[in-house]
Structure 1
Amino acid sequence: MKTATTNFKRFGSVAAIAIAGTMLFSACAANEDAPAGESESTLSGTLDGAGASSQGSAQEAWVAAFQTENPDVTINYEPSGSGAGREAFLSGGVSFAGSDSALSDDEIAGEFASCVPDSGYVEVPAYISPIAVIFNVEGVDELNLDAATLAGIFKGTITTWDDAAIAALNEDATLPSAPITAVHRADDSGTTKNFADYLNKVAPQVWDAAPADPFPYAGGEAAQGTTGVVDAVTNGTNTIGYADASKAGDLGVAAIKVGEEFVNYTPEAAAAVVAESPLVEGREATDLAIKLDRLTTDPSHYPLVLVSYIIACQEYTDAEQGPLVKAYAQYLTSEDGQAEAADAAGAAPLSADLSTKVATALESIK
């Protein structure tokens, strides 16, 4: 039995500018369209962020909407990948990071260059989304995969589409006798870490590498960023990859086995997993990192899900950045901001309980 797959919407009204060869989403262009005199905002200045490419569509929508209400603010977001975003934030290159991976213990123990020493940091969920297993296989419109088979495909132990393990899960499909091209992220990616965490938890006998931002195994095809993976799967032959569901487009999307059923992603099924997962123990009150429950057998849940965070300082060495970061983070985690992400990227909204905790943590920014 399958649940229906949600069609994710596209959002393209925000302008993008190229900086250092990477696309940056900027609120500058929205300034030209905002009617003069309609905003009562007193905020002004430029805010730079970087990180998770999974947040790309949502960030475009957030930036555009925030700019409309705050026409004297310019926000740039570089979708450079979670690892690069955290590195840029830790080194002081940007004022906030978007990351599909929570800060590691080593990162927390280090220095935050933009933060006032000993002032602390904030890490809050902002974007909840399924990870789609995308495929482009000749003659195949629907594909069922369990965790062990999916792990074997990306580890490289299952190498052809008519392998017995795949055929057993897809009795009605005509699978080609062709090599599998499994596409993974080339950059340090929180999407990779979430994908690997799911496989390691559900199929540890196959996926024996510890979850991490770098892809752990040799082989397959590497592509840069979410867009790179989607392009490689789209333009390749008999390909499969993983990406934030907002970018799946018209590609085939595999159903994954949860309990005894094969389940397609929906925002609701992804949100159900997050709502029932605990916070990581031993963190500060302003750190709301979530330990996702990948082992659910409830077919109303979709455990191949990512939670993407906003990481910021509690107090900035540049005092002008604090009010901007606080206001922007409060907006994108608000009911209106979450609705924008749902419309733009099909994201699942934060639960009421999590929203309350997020609001409390963000109040500490100054």
Structure 2
Amino acid sequence: MKLQRVGYAAGIALTATLALTACGSDNEAAGGGENVSSENCVAGTIQAQGSSAQKNAMDEWIKAYQGQCSGAQINYNPTGSGAGIEAFINGTADFSGSDSALKEDEQPQADAKCAGGQALNLPMVTGPIAVVYNLEGVDGLQLSAPLLAKIFSDKIKTWNDPAIAAENQGAKLPSSAIQAVHRADESGTTDNFTKYLSKSDEADWTYGNAKAWKAPGGVGATKSDGVASQVKSTPGTISYVELSYAENSDLSMAKIKNGAGEYTELTGESAGKAVEGAKIVGTGDDLKLELDYTTTEAGAYPIVLVTYEIVCSKGSPKADAIKGFLTYTSSEAGQKELGDLGYAPLPESVRSKVEASVANIS
């Protein structure tokens, strides 16, 4: 099933000031929570954790929902996708956030926690992955998948390497060493980024894709904010991080070569062109997506991720409270909040299906 084009009119770009205000202030949430329907309010406490990529979205959603729903308490800890899934399987998280769907070996373990039901992969947040760098005097750096694969596997070690120069004609590249930064914790962002790298020639990238970083070299940083902080403070670094964190930290972002041979700047429109080629590969209420990292769509930015909520279709003792909160996050009103937070709303064709799946939680 092809996705419909996403309406990105609200714009995915985010100023640092707006992001910090939305996520860090004690002021009323965007819209004052007025778009939360009181009919969906359910009192109770939910313990959730996982993806740090969706932290800013969760912060805003929780603020809005709790502001309108007396007795509702949602605690979301951005421990990383791997830790979130582990917590769900271990029964210490009522639902978890993950930047990739459950793996084949994880699915039965997660299903076992859902008495009489199954663990669903519900896409909730669309977030492009920016390739960020700290290189004074170099704007609009252009990078392809093979080049990124060599950089992040420690095969290219200096910024003025001929391979980098060949893709950046006229740029004044320094002879300084490259310091590649990767996630130290298990992360769906890493999983999605390495999926993109794995589409390069096998000679360039031999490490497949996984939540845990496997390639040699580089330095690790914990969670998305740790990666952004490391790049911001260290000249010569390069890494990958969600757009909201890149913009919050005012980091330089590279143009990435897509399957059409274009070096594409990361914008709402370019990310949307990549998302529209995704397919739903889950069955029933499970909505696992398959993204095309080699999209040949003209003007498409190829490195995007979709954050899922991993939740029981039925059998959870917190089913009513979870259903109430996710009814809001999957609503048109909830999704509209994302445009001002460095994310993008789900395509309507998918959003409506997520909303229907949430309505079936029991």
Normalization by structure 1: what TM-score? 0.87
The change in CA–CA distance for 1:301 and 1:322 in structure 2 (over 3 A counts) is same
Give the 3-state SS of the residue equivalent to 1:341 in structure 2: helix
Alignment of 1:285-296 (within 5 A): 285-296=284-295
Give the 3-state SS of the residue equivalent to 2:289 in structure 1: coil
Q: 2:326: which partner in 1? A: 329
Q: Does the CA contact (< 8 Å) of 2:50 and 2:77 recur in 1?
A: yes
Q: Deviations over 1:228-280 (max 9, x none)?
A: 11111111121101000111131110000122321011233223322222223
How far did 1:101 drift?
A: 1.2
Q: 1:12: which partner in 2? A: 21
Alignment of 1:125-164 (within 5 A): 125-164=123-162
Letter paired with 1:138: E
Give the 3-state SS of the residue equivalent to 1:53 in structure 2: coil
Higher alpha-carbon deviation: 328-337 or 45-54 = 328-337
The change in CA–CA distance for 1:305 and 1:204 in structure 2 (over 3 A counts) is farther
Higher alpha-carbon deviation: 146-155 or 205-214 = 205-214
The change in CA–CA distance for 1:326 and 1:79 in structure 2 (over 3 A counts) is same
Q: Does the CA contact (< 8 Å) of 1:130 and 1:270 recur in 2?
A: yes
Q: Does the CA contact (< 8 Å) of 2:97 and 2:309 recur in 1?
A: yes
Quick one: which of 310, 331, 343 aligns to 1:347? 343
Q: 1:276: which partner in 2? A: 277
Letter paired with 2:121: E
Is 1:363 the counterpart of 2:359? The answer is yes
**Distance (whole Å) between structure 2 residues aligned to residue 203 and residue 361 of structure 1:** 38
Q: 2:265: which partner in 1? A: 264
The change in CA–CA distance for 1:14 and 1:255 in structure 2 (over 3 A counts) is closer
Q: 2:229: which partner in 1? A: 231
The change in CA–CA distance for 1:191 and 1:14 in structure 2 (over 3 A counts) is closer
Q: Where does the alignment leave 5 or more consecutive residues of structure 1 unmatched?
A: 17-26
Identity of aligned residues (%): 40
Q: 1:24: which partner in 2? A: none
Q: Aligned residues, how many?
A: 341
The CA RMSD over aligned residues, in Å, is: 2.3
**Distance (whole Å) between structure 2 residues aligned to residue 7 and residue 224 of structure 1:** 24
Which structure has more RCO (C-alpha within 8 Å, separation ≥ 6)? 2
**Distance (whole Å) between structure 2 residues aligned to residue 139 and residue 15 of structure 1:** 32
Q: Does the CA contact (< 8 Å) of 2:13 and 2:340 recur in 1?
A: no
**Distance (whole Å) between structure 2 residues aligned to residue 222 and residue 342 of structure 1:** 30
Q: Does the CA contact (< 8 Å) of 1:136 and 1:236 recur in 2?
A: yes
Letter paired with 2:104: D
Is 1:174 the counterpart of 2:172? The answer is yes
Letter paired with 1:190: G
Q: Does the CA contact (< 8 Å) of 1:47 and 1:74 recur in 2?
A: yes
Q: 1:253: which partner in 2? A: 253
